[in-house]
Amino acid sequence: MTGTQVRPRPEGAPPDSRRSASAQEADRARRRRRRREALTAYLFLAPWFGGLLFITAGPLLASLYLSFTDYSLIGGSDWIGLSNYTRMFTDDPRFLKALQNTTVYVFVSVPLQLAFALLLALLLDRGVRGLAVYRSVYYLPSLLGSSVAIAILWRKVFGDDGLFNHFLGLFGVDGRSWIGDPSTALGTLIVLNVWTFGSPMVIFLAGLRQIPVNYYEAAGIDGAGKVRQFFHITVPLLTPVIFFNLILQLIGAFQSFTQAFVVSGGNGSPSDSTLFYTMYVYTKGFNSFEMGYASAMAWFLVIIIACLTALNFLLSKYWVFYGDN
Amino acid sequence: MPHRQRTARLCVALAATGALVTTAACGGDSGSGDDGKVTLKVSWWGEASRHKITEQAIDLFEKQNPDVTVESSYSTWDSYYDQLTTKVAAGDAPDVFAIEIRKLGEFGRKNTLADLKGRVNTGDLDPKLLSSGKVDGTQYAIPTGANAWAVMANTAVFEKAGVDLPDDSSWTWKDYEDVSTQLTEAGGSGIYGTQINFNDAFLNVFAAQRGESLYDNGKIGISTGTLADWYQLSADMIKTKGSPDAALSNELDANSIEQSLIGTNKGGMGMWWTNQLSAAGTASGEKIELLQMPQAPGATSSGMFLQPAMFWAVGAHSKQQQAAGKLIDFLVNDPQAGKILGSDRGLPMNSKVLKEIRSDLPPADQASLDYVDKVRDKLADPPAAYPDGAADIPDMLKRYGQDVVSGNKSPDAAAEGFLKEANSTLG
């Protein structure tokens, strides 16, 4: 056969008129196969699309409509235009407080969490014995982190008579109730989120395994030290994975609910220092029955997350390196 | 039940796909079947022990009324109102359900509850308590029992510190503070006098002693001065070391009574509802004494009141009003039901039932009933159904309180801030 070494033609490039008939035949076969694969993929995706359409989309659109009304869950509703949206910024200091708490939480805990995850992944990647065990142990908090049980445990760990203070006591430091003090309560939740570094760590580990060893060998021969290798080989080749983790964790952190809800006893105690955005939405909707206002806040959160994600994608052009460009 | 749920879900699904569904097809003719049988849906919140005895009482009701079938659904407190309000909003409210005073007003005023006048015999119920089930003059709900807000004292902590229990028949807020400070000093390291709280019941008692009440005409009925004094009380308690530092006080306030100072034998006093007495006793393993609330000097009222623990109510659109009333009547009036239910939904306030079952109640409940009898002549009226938006008030009160004890706000500023925010939330 002639022309068997033809490289796959980039999508959308003009067909090569000089190519042989058999190559064109192979092309057609490939296209057919791809169509079949696409069909299979859509078939597998169908249940998800069905769920989206019939279960999620309805309430989603309904809540968008409700965000322009004063719907109160057990009463009627009137169209009030953008009032709910302006109220957030002009007439609701608690909303701003919740937004501030959540922003601090996200922008402090996510970078720290990713740094920890990367550090641990690097250590584990060095071929420790019993890697599988370590991986599982470090991954465990990711599975447990957002559970009620862990949040209750956190109250104990950072309470006045908690584990953390007993630890400080070993060094003669006098602790206090970290969850009862408005200036430190949010900090304990940040620590909790950082502690759940397992899932980005596992993804980092997979990313590290993708980097060819011969890059390091070549760099080593050229006299590059470990630190240089890390910054000039590992980090650039890992940027797509870092980017992926960043987006995922940012979105997740903005939606944190359980931890704050349990640690604060459901009301943002003390002094609203742990009042998270989603918690405030929940409280307004199901405690105050202001479902219209809660819907507006929920949609504003969607906008925030969408903008942030879009911004991230824009910025990614400048720092994320995909092997082929 | 599963059948009806499936029907409902199918209706939603059909509506969602845009299929034409006539209302007749989905019409909820639940219950009355061809054979004249009636099905009642009943909802309440609670823990496993409550579910068990309530089911037992319902079984007895079904045996006595063979034409009625009861379908019970229950949940924990945390998710109860989420489920109830969602069901009410979807037009699928239970026929009979439990509700408490904070949401009673709102449900009643929004026409989601049925008038129970004439449906339930209320002759033997405490009339004052019964009146708390009225919203704008209509008896929308029947109280199941009552609790009283009181100071609880851990007698072992007092004894160990060598401090006498205060004479609670005439003690003032100043006495309360002094004895707390004294306990902290005498108790040694890690022992505190009392633990502070910002419960609205506490404020209600405090305000009633000055002739004010928490809610008045749909707004907050408390003056800035009274509220500031009330916040000052907690701030002083911390300053004079009668209570632990602000951070620990905040932590304790969010804990259950099992982990409270008196529950862990680390403190002498605290305030709770009387239905917590047995939990405090079990957790501490010591004798916990109920004390009357301290008073303002020269107060004309003790301010203490009986709080309806919870109510039974009937959905406004229930097609089984009569059977629903019959079930509630059975639950609150029948001595056999009373025997099964005991004091699970508050101290029984039905004189007929109480006569039958008092000696069978657990010791803590008998102690609570003795306490109520002791203060009965001093009791103020129970609170009326709360105004709309009142569900937000307890947390708000606590938030400003935490601002005060953490030093972020002065008591005056907190009082002003609370009144402004609360009044804009209510109504």
The pLDDT tens digits for B29-67 are 344 444 578 999 999 998 888 899 999 999 999 999 999
Residues A203 and A160 in one domain: yes
Are the Cβ atoms of B250 and A73 closer than 8 angstroms?
A: no
Are the Cβ atoms of A176 and B402 closer than 8 angstroms?
A: no
Per the listing, tokens 């999508």 go with A11
**What average pLDDT is seen over chain B?**
88
pLDDT tier at B28 (50, 70, 90 boundaries)? very low
Are the Cβ atoms of A73 and B85 closer than 8 angstroms?
A: yes
Q: Please name the member of A177, A179, A267 whose beta carbon is closest to the beta carbon of B395.
A: A267
The CATH class for the domain spanning B46-144+310-375 reads alpha beta
pLDDT tier at B322 (50, 70, 90 boundaries)? very high
Sheet holding B141-143, edge to edge: B68-75, B38-45, B96-99, B311-314, B141-143
Residues A181 and A250 in one domain: yes
- Interface residue of A289, A293, A295 to substitute, partner B, most B CBs within 10 Å: A289
Separation CA B292–CA B284 (nearest Å): 21
Collect all residues from B whose CB is shorter than 8 A from any CB in A.
Answer: 13, 16-17, 78, 81-82, 85-86, 88-89, 106-107, 110, 112, 244-254, 389, 391-392, 395, 398-399, 402-403, 406, 408, 425
Are the Cβ atoms of A74 and B253 closer than 8 angstroms?
A: no
Chain A residue numbers with beta carbons less than 8 Å from the beta carbon of B247 are 160, 176-178, 180-181, 270
* Residue among B111, B120, B269, B252 nearest B192 (CA): B269
Interface list for A 37-76 with B (CB within 8 A): 54, 58, 72-75
Q: Is the pLDDT of residue B164 over 80?
A: yes
Residues A268 and A216 in one domain: yes
- Interface residue of A160, A179, A275 to substitute, partner B, most B CBs within 10 Å: A160
Distance from CA of A249 to the nearest CA of B (A): 28
Separation CA A245–CA B400 (nearest Å): 39
Between B143 and B381, the higher pLDDT residue: B143
- Interface residue of B97, B99, B250 to substitute, partner A, most A CBs within 10 Å: B250
Separation CA B20–CA A217 (nearest Å): 70
The pLDDT tens digits for B290-317 are 999 999 988 888 999 999 999 999 999 9
Compute the count of residue pairs across chains A and B with CB atoms less than 8 Å apart. 87
Percent residues over pLDDT 70 in chain B:
92
Is A7 inside a domain boundary? no
Distance from CA of B81 to the nearest CA of A (A): 8
Give the domain range for residue A178: 84-319
- Interface residue of A97, A271, A279 to substitute, partner B, most B CBs within 10 Å: A271
Q: Please name the member of A74, A180, A289 whose beta carbon is closest to the beta carbon of B248.
A: A180
Output the pLDDT for position B2.
Answer: 39
**Amino acid code (one letter) for B105:** G
Say how many Å lie between the first and final Cα of chain B, rounded: 37
Q: Please name the member of B89, B251, B252 whose beta carbon is closest to the beta carbon of A74.
A: B89
Residues A107 and A226 in one domain: yes
Separation CA A117–CA A206 (nearest Å): 12
Complex ipTM value: 0.79
Residues A180 and A296 in one domain: yes
For residue A166, the domain's CATH number is 1.10.3720.10
Is A137 inside a domain boundary? yes
CB atoms within 10 A of CB A83: 16
Structure tokens belonging to residue B113: 């509850």
- Average confidence (pLDDT) over B118-134: 92
Residues A112 and A51 in one domain: no
* Residue among A252, A246, A236, A242 nearest A206 (CA): A242
Output the pLDDT for position A19.
Answer: 61
Dihedral over alpha carbons A4, A7, A10, A11 (to 10 degrees): 40
Residues A102 and A185 in one domain: yes
Distance from CA of B110 to the nearest CA of A (A): 6
Question: Of all helices (H) and strands (E), which one includes residue B207?
Answer: helix B200-208
Q: Please name the member of A58, A177, A286 whose beta carbon is closest to the beta carbon of B250.
A: A177
Structure tokens belonging to residue B35: 């054979």
Separation CA A211–CA A206 (nearest Å): 9
pLDDT tier at B91 (50, 70, 90 boundaries)? confident
Q: In sequence order, which residues have a C-beta less than 8 Å from that of residue A155 and are 6 or more positions away?
A: A179, A262, A263, B251, B254
Are the Cβ atoms of B250 and A270 closer than 8 angstroms?
A: yes
Q: In sequence order, which residues have a C-beta less than 8 Å from that of residue A184 and are 6 or more positions away?
A: A178
Q: Is the pLDDT of residue B250 over 90?
A: yes
What is the CA A221 to chain-centroid distance, rounded? 38
Is A13 inside a domain boundary? no
Are the Cβ atoms of A269 and B399 closer than 8 angstroms?
A: yes
Residue segments in chain A with a per-residue pLDDT below the cut of 70: 1-19, 324-325
Are the Cβ atoms of B251 and A160 closer than 8 angstroms?
A: yes
Are the Cβ atoms of B246 and A180 closer than 8 angstroms?
A: yes
Output the pLDDT for position A18.
Answer: 56
The pLDDT tens digits for A222-277 are 888 888 999 989 999 999 999 999 999 999 999 999 888 888 888 888 999 999 99
pLDDT tier at B110 (50, 70, 90 boundaries)? confident
Residue of B nearest to A268 (CA): B399
Distance from CA of A144 to the nearest CA of B (A): 21
Are the Cβ atoms of A269 and B250 closer than 8 angstroms?
A: yes
Of A66, A92, A125, the residue at which a domain comes to its end is A66
Q: Is the pLDDT of residue B90 over 50?
A: yes
pLDDT tier at B24 (50, 70, 90 boundaries)? very low
Number of domains into which chain A is organized: 2
Is A251 inside a domain boundary? yes
Residues A139 and A33 in one domain: no
A180 touches chain B (CB under 8 A): yes
Give the three-class secondary structure for A235: helix
The pLDDT tens digits for B180-210 are 999 999 998 899 999 999 999 999 999 999 9
* pTM of model > 0.95: no
Are the Cβ atoms of A286 and B82 closer than 8 angstroms?
A: yes
Output the pLDDT for position B256.
Answer: 86
**Amino acid code (one letter) for B109:** R
Are the Cβ atoms of A264 and B254 closer than 8 angstroms?
A: yes
Are the Cβ atoms of B245 and A271 closer than 8 angstroms?
A: no
> Is B292 in contact with B168 (CB distance < 8 Å)?
yes
Q: Which CATH architecture has domain B148-306+386-425?
A: 3-Layer(aba) Sandwich (3.40)
Separation CA B114–CA B141 (nearest Å): 8
Residue of A nearest to B254 (CA): A265
Are the Cβ atoms of B89 and A73 closer than 8 angstroms?
A: yes
Structure tokens belonging to residue B96: 């009979």
pLDDT tier at B162 (50, 70, 90 boundaries)? very high
Output the pLDDT for position B15.
Answer: 37
Output the pLDDT for position B261.
Answer: 96
Is A76 inside a domain boundary? no
Chain A residue numbers with beta carbons less than 8 Å from the beta carbon of B13 are 54
pLDDT tier at B343 (50, 70, 90 boundaries)? confident
What phi, psi does B319 have (nearest 5°)?
A: -90, 0
Where exactly does CATH 3.40.190.10 map onto chain B? 46-144+310-375, 148-306+386-425
Residues A29 and A97 in one domain: no
DSSP A79: B
Output the pLDDT for position A17.
Answer: 52
Structure tokens belonging to residue B419: 């009144």
Give the three-class secondary structure for B75: strand
Output the pLDDT for position A148.
Answer: 83
Q: Please name the member of B86, B110, B250 whose beta carbon is closest to the beta carbon of A180.
A: B250
Are the Cβ atoms of B392 and A159 closer than 8 angstroms?
A: no
Q: In sequence order, which residues have a C-beta less than 8 Å from that of residue A25 and are 6 or more positions away?
A: none
Residues A88 and A210 in one domain: yes
Residues A120 and A32 in one domain: no
Q: Please name the member of A180, A264, A268 whose beta carbon is closest to the beta carbon of B247.
A: A180
Per the listing, tokens 């006048």 go with B117
For Cα atoms B26, B31, B35, give the angle at the middle one, nearest 5 degrees. 115
Are the Cβ atoms of B112 and A159 closer than 8 angstroms?
A: no
Distance from CA of B390 to the nearest CA of A (A): 8
Extract long-range pairs of B407-412: CB within 8 Å, 24+ residues apart.
B407/B246, B408/A182, B408/A271, B411/B228, B411/B229, B411/B231, B411/B232, B411/B235, B412/B224, B412/B228
Residues A43 and A134 in one domain: no
